[in-house]
Structure 1
Amino acid sequence: MSLTSQPKLELHLHLEGAAPPAFIRGLAAEKHEDISGIFNETGGYAYRDFWHFLKVYEAATSVLTSPEDYRRLTLAVLEESAASGVIYSETFISPDFCGGRDLVAWREYLAAIEEAAAEAEAKMGVTLRAIITPIRHFGPDKAREVAICAAETAGRFVTGFGIGGDEKSGEPADFLWAFDCAREAGLGITAHAGEWRGPDHIRDTLRALNPSRIGHGVRAIEDLALVDELAERGTVLEVCPGSNIALGIYPDWRKHPIGQLYDRGVKVTVSTDDPPFFHTTMAREWDRLADALDWDQGVFDTLNRTALDAAFCDADTKAKIAKQLEPRA
């Protein structure tokens, strides 16, 4: 069955990582920048492994140098999301890339992104909220600066705080100050864990940072006691199956553990992570999961309800999205 037109919620989307390659190529041409080495012969992003992917990601991001660039990027990304039926999305945005962690510059970038989000909501029907993220491999000191930017701009649009980048760089406790700062500002807390490191790293993240959500978290399946703990705690996993398969963590859709996690009572959601890098969309994620796991509409309705309950937006926004999820007469 095709699920393209079904309304969907997405909680794990990196804004720069969702940039269509044609958009980045066009922007580079406008600025006379040569980044042709990051594309393959068909025009898509080219990378060898996850760590090379991070370098390609940062190279693509290097042409995004102004608030106007981010305004245009946000519109391009949300157009792709809306085409897959996404009605609510939370995207990771980093002051590391938006103004170099300078609060004045960050406010200008954020205003441009928020302006584009409002335009997309009015024209395309997709609601966007922001999760502010330090880049793990940039270190804890820069993460503190990012947290201050997040805390100073927390509100209706900036609703969450997380961490991305190289999971093997540093330990969760190294970033405790940044997360405490964000939590005190009222931001929802998520953290990438259990993608490139195993169950112990998920445990360490839960103990050190106490997030309500974990980005990825799929390697919990290697420790069933941890799976049961996640289910008991009600921790929500932002699972990105297409990303995990594209990066070689799992060989194919049938062997991806999202079905096992769901069956064991873990709260799972589905997202695309960095969709053009991994040749996916939200519609494709749903279609492939339906085919591989024989999931019916009821399961996808559960995924949406889980995502809505776990979303970092305010109550009024949740009520509006809930109405959009009601069955159509």
Structure 2
Amino acid sequence: MSTIPKVELHLHIEGAAPPAFIRGLAQEKGVNLDGVFNDDGSYKFESFNQFLSVYEAACTVLTGPEEFARLTTAVLEQSIAQGVIYTEAFLSPDFCGGGDVGAWREYMNAMQEAAAKLPEIEMRGIVTCIRHFGPDQAKVAAKCAAETAGGFITGFGMGGDEMVGTQGDYAYSFDMAREAGLRLTTHAGEWGGADSVWQAVRDLKVDRVGHGVQAIDDLALVDHLAEHGIVLEVCPGSNVALGVYPDWRSHPIEKLRERGVPVTVSTDDPPFFHTTLSAEYDRLADTFGWDDEVVREVNVTAAKAAFCDTVTREKLLKTLEPTT
């Protein structure tokens, strides 16, 4: 495992919940989560749609700010153990107060306060709408984002089922977030092909693309991403676990990097995919020969692409400088 400090840009706060944490909350609340876990205690799913269903079922025990504060602590402690010094987590108002701005603010404050108690790591929040909840509900999430922009909340994005509608259907919400000063990202090119990445770049004018790996199928797009410095939040273990690619050798992250596309490495929903950020880099080293120089380069790319203030960015880049 590389000892180089790590920067993670693509992490869903609920999807990073340790299974034992969710089971414990379910027991405390007397909630039946049959079908959510395998016999060994891990999350149970066999397809992307099942993954979404299990994800949302697990979220049913996260019913208040206090639970999200505890969740934040559990997730960040996992990250610290992997050498992560900075993380951006996707936070959805749909799961945090149902989109009510006042309730969302209480959830957000609880997560921010929990994060502040762990000085080993910096955390920022990216408010995220859920694509398969539709464009109107996305506007609700965008309003929550705009009302709490600044400081802890530094970005706006979109997750969920990439096959529902088009990126452009959500342009109003992204414009609202942009006007509030938030940086933008969206899931694209995980399932929707290279065209979905074009949509994200053209119609939403995002700073970064979540996943984006299917851009490799359109070399004109690859060159566009490289030329314009549009950063991909790549999650190789997630892509292999969900069947986007059959194995690590087939994954395009190295081809994208070789063609000049700025790539970063993240875990997405690590307990679901039986991975950690250290494990991701270990597999990349085994598969593509990534050494410490490449690992440092990728994390410097992530630090430069982070949706954070200048002081924080400079601190991260200083920490990532070689020690010898």
1:154 has 2:152 as partner: no
Question: Where has structure 1 moved over 4 Å in runs of 4 or more?
Answer: none
Q: How does 1:290-309 map to 2 (within 5 A)?
A: 290-309=285-304
Q: Residue 130 in 1 paired to residue 125 in 2?
A: yes
Counterpart in the other structure of 1:210: 205
Equivalent position of 2:244 in the other structure: 249
1:221 aligns with 2:219: no
Alpha-carbon offset, residue 328 of structure 1: 3.1
* CA drift at 1:6: 2.3
Structure 1 residue 204: Cα displacement: 1.4
Name the counterpart of 1:321.
Answer: 316
Note if 1:178 corresponds to 2:173.
yes
2:4 and 2:296 in contact (8 A); partners too: no
* SS of residue matched to 1:250: coil
Q: 1:301 Cα deviation (Å)?
A: 1.0
Q: Secondary structure at the match of 1:238?
A: strand
Could you tell me how far apart the structure 2 residues matched to 1:289 and 1:126 are? 24
Percent identical among aligned pairs is 61
Q: Secondary structure at the match of 1:131?
A: strand
Normalised to the residue count of structure 1, the TM-score between the two structures is 0.97
Which structure 1 segments of 5+ residues have no match?
none
Query: TM-score scaled by structure 2?
Result: 0.99
Residue aligned with 2:164, SS: coil
Give the C-alpha shift of residue 325 in structure 1: 1.4
1:30 positional shift: 0.2
Q: Deviations over 1:298-325 (max 9, x none)?
A: 1111101110111000011112212221
> Amino acid of the residue matched to residue 63 of structure 1?
V
CA distance, structure 2, for counterparts of residue 312 and residue 142 of structure 1? 24
Greater shift, 297-306 or 316-325, is seen at: 316-325
Q: Is the 8 A contact 2:92 2:141 kept in 1?
A: yes
Count of residues in correspondence between the two structures:
324
Measured in 1, the distance between the counterparts of 2:314 and 2:297 equals: 17
2:59 equivalent in structure 1: 61
Residue aligning to 1:30: 28
Structure 2, gaps ≥5 residues long:
none
SS at match of 1:163: strand
Q: Secondary structure at 2:98's aligned position in 1?
A: coil
Which residue does the alignment assign to 1:276?
271
The letter of the residue matching 1:18 is A
- SS of aligned partner of 1:17: coil
- What is the alpha-carbon root mean square deviation over aligned residues? 0.8
1:155 is paired with a residue whose SS is: coil
Task: Give runs of aligned pairs for residues 4-19 of structure 1, distance below 5 A.
Answer: 5-19=3-17
Matching residue within 175, 188, 194 for 2:189: 194
Displacement after TM superposition at 1:36 (Å): 3.1
